[in-house]
Amino acid sequence: PKYNNNNFYNILYTSCHLSSTNTTLNTHFIHNKKEVIVYLQLHLQPPSSESILVSFISLSMIFKPTTLLVLIGTISLINQEHVQAFSTIKTTSSFNSAVSKATTTTTTTSTSTPGTSTEVNMNKTSTTGSTTELNMNKKKSKKKSKPSKGFAGALRELQKNAFNYAGSVRPGSQSPQKIVIDESIMKPDYALDTLPKNKPQMLPWIVEVKNKQEIEKMRAAGRVAREVLDCAGRAVAVGVTTDEIDNIVHAESIKRGAYPSPLNYHGFPKSCCTSVNEVICHGIPDDRKLEKGDIVNLDITCYLNGFHGDCSEMFVVGGETDDESKRLLQATYDCWVKAMDIGAIIEDHVVERGFTTVKNFCGHGIGSVFHTNPNIFHYRNSEPNGEMAPGHTFTIEPMICQGTSQVLSWPDNWTATTRDGKRTAQFEHTLLITPDGVEALTGKIETSPIQFWEKESEVHKGLWLGTTPAARERAALLTSSNSD
Spans of the chain, pLDDT less than 50: 1-145
341 exposure class (CB count in 10 Å sphere: 0-12, 13-18, 19+): middle
Write the single-letter amino acid at 325.
S
pLDDT confidence of residue 108: 34
CB neighbour list of residue 461: distance below 8 Å, 6 or more residues apart:
454, 455, 479
- Tell me what pLDDT residue 398 has: 98
Q: What is the distance between the alpha carbons of residues 48 and 260, in angstroms, rounded to a whole number?
A: 31
CB 312 within 8 A of CB 299: yes
DSSP 306-372: TEEEEEEEEEEGGG---HHHHHHHHHHHHHHHHHHHH---HHHHHHTTT-EE-SS--EEE-SSSSSE
Neighbour tally for 213: CB within 10 Å: 8
Q: Closest Cα to residue 178, out of 277, 92, 242, 90? A: 90
All residues at 6 or more sequence positions from 453 whose CB lies less than 8 Å from its CB, including other chains: 314, 329, 330, 333, 334
**pLDDT score, position 259:** 98
Contact 476, 460 (CB under 8 A): no
Phi, psi (degrees; rounded to nearest 5) at 242: -70, -25
DSSP code, position 150: H
What is the C-alpha to C-alpha distance for residues 72 and 25, in angstroms, rounded to an integer? 10
Burial 179-199 (b: 16+ CB within 10 A, else e): bbbeeebebbebbbebebeee
Using CA atoms, how far apart are residues 423 and 414, in angstroms rounded to an integer? Answer: 18
Distance CA 395, CA 375 (A): 9
pTM of the model: 0.71
Give the span between the Cα atoms of 274 and 285, in whole angstroms. Answer: 6
**115 Rama class: left (phi>0) / alpha (psi -120 to 50) / beta:** left
Pairing of strands 259-260, 295-304: antiparallel
